[in-house]
Amino acid sequence: MKDEGKLMDCAQFKEIYHELDRPGTSGYRFRERALSHAETCPRCGALLTEGEALDFALWNLAERSADWNASPRIEANLLGEFQQVKLAGSRKRIRKQFAILGVAAAVLLALGIGVHQRMESGAPTAWLEAANLAGNPAAGTTTAAVAGGSTPPGESTSAVSASANPTDENEYAEEFVPVPYADDPAASEGGAIVRVTLPRSALASFGLPITASEGTDRVSADLIVSQDGTPQAIRLVSQENANSDF
């Protein structure tokens, strides 16, 4: 109702007369003007009277029904349900806590096993040290099995199998150097030491610094080869008199 200053007309009155006593409505806001209009307009006056009678009848009905309540049985049922839901909720919580504890225990167990295995396999380079100790001076020929890295240092000299041929007294070998892609030291367990002869230029592929001018002759080298056939480490072997090559 935009024209607040003007007198109310019948259309405006009909729109709001049912909410003259309802706070927060436009009827309540323009109550005085609506009443003034009803005093001057017999038809709207009659509407107002009828509306008031309806208000009273509704109020009367509301008054009479004010004490209506659901039977106590409903409250008892609901309390029973509430207790059940509460119980189920606490059971669910307990189950959840057990599940969390179970997962935590499993994680701890897995960690423990992992740490244990790591301790058993020793430090990543232990296998290499073992092999170096065993093979220096280098094994004379062919292959020798590489033992697990957990072997105590004192026994590590036996890490290279005794089946390897006796070391040639004239041979001189460097220490084993891991090849660049040998990222899993454990992979060499159960592997073998293989004596190979290869072009010097091929040493570059094992990560050894070789200049292009040096790459023409052939050299002997021991490779630690894992069970899957991947070279894990390399050392160069030479005769005493050829030591100057390296």
**Site of interaction with another protein (CB under 8 A):** 15, 18-19, 22, 24-25, 50-58, 60-62, 64-71, 73-75, 77-79, 81-83, 85-86, 89-90
The CB density around residue 59, as the number of other CB atoms within 10 Å, is: 10
Q: What values do phi and psi take at 207, rounded to 5?
A: 85, 10
The CB density around residue 130, as the number of other CB atoms within 10 Å, is: 27
Contact 130, 149 (CB under 8 A): yes
Nearer to another protein, 76 or 111 (CB): 76
Nearer to another protein, 77 or 158 (CB): 77
| Residue 86 CB, nearest approach to another protein (Å) | 5
| Residue 34 CB, nearest approach to another protein (Å) | 14
| Residue 12 CB, nearest approach to another protein (Å) | 13
| Residue 24 CB, nearest approach to another protein (Å) | 6
The CB density around residue 189, as the number of other CB atoms within 10 Å, is: 18
Nearer to another protein, 55 or 183 (CB): 55
| Residue 88 CB, nearest approach to another protein (Å) | 10
Nearer to another protein, 87 or 105 (CB): 87
| Residue 101 CB, nearest approach to another protein (Å) | 22
**Nearest-10 crossing angle of helices 31-40, 42-65:** 130
| Residue 18 CB, nearest approach to another protein (Å) | 5
Nearer to another protein, 5 or 24 (CB): 24
Handedness of CA 67, 73, 74, 76 (dihedral sign): positive
Q: Which amino acid is at 80?
A: G
Nearer to another protein, 36 or 83 (CB): 83
Nearer to another protein, 72 or 152 (CB): 72
